[in-house]
Amino acid sequence: MDRPLLLIDVDGVISLFGFDPARPPAGALQLVDGIAHFLSAAAGEHLRQLGAEFELAWCSGWEEKANEYLPLALGLPRAIPYVTLSAGTPTVSANWKLAAIDAYAGHDRALAWIDDAHDDSCVRWAATRPGPTLLIATEPAIGLTAEHVAELVAWAAQRSPVDRG
């Protein structure tokens, strides 16, 4: 657990939507259980780069389904763990993922979370969580960007005990 944890949503981060179909971003369609998803062309490279700094984990309603499709489609070297969201108990005052994230990561571990649907409860949770916490919000039509990656890498470097000399 030397590296911080990076929680990655899929829809709106890797699988893009809401863009102008006449001017789609770089990417490709991927069928997932018969449903077309538009995967960002840059997402695979971004995740490979982030995997050197973080322990990656899917944090998506896709759960184990992410590993059935995404590693091959994105050129990832292997499947990555995922947060079992059904393990969390949603409350009226909190985002539906928060309880499962706490169960998966614990309260003290440094973590960053990339999602297109952070709400006020996520911001309050991150501000009061004992461990260092960074929320990265994406636009669902754009997804994970090089700017997000640079921010995440810089944040991870401040938390890693490894000499990056």
pLDDT in tens, the chain (165 residues): 589 999 999 999 999 999 999 999 999 999 999 999 999 999 999 999 999 999 999 999 999 999 999 999 999 989 999 999 875 555 545 688 999 999 999 999 999 999 999 999 999 999 999 999 999 999 999 999 999 999 999 999 998 665 444
The C-alpha atoms of residue 89 and residue 80 are separated, in whole angstroms, by: 23
Cα–Cα separations (whole angstroms), residue 145 to 34, 43, 47, 114, 148: 27, 8, 10, 11, 5
pLDDT the model gives residue 86: 75
Is the distance from CB of 11 to CB of 17 less than 8 angstroms? yes
pLDDT the model gives residue 164: 42
Q: What are the residue ranges spanned by the domains of the chain?
A: 5-157
What is 5-157's CATH number? 3.40.50
**How many residues are listed for the chain in this entry?**
165
DSSP label of 113 = E
Alpha-helical regions (H) of the chain? 43-51, 65-74, 98-105, 120-128, 146-157
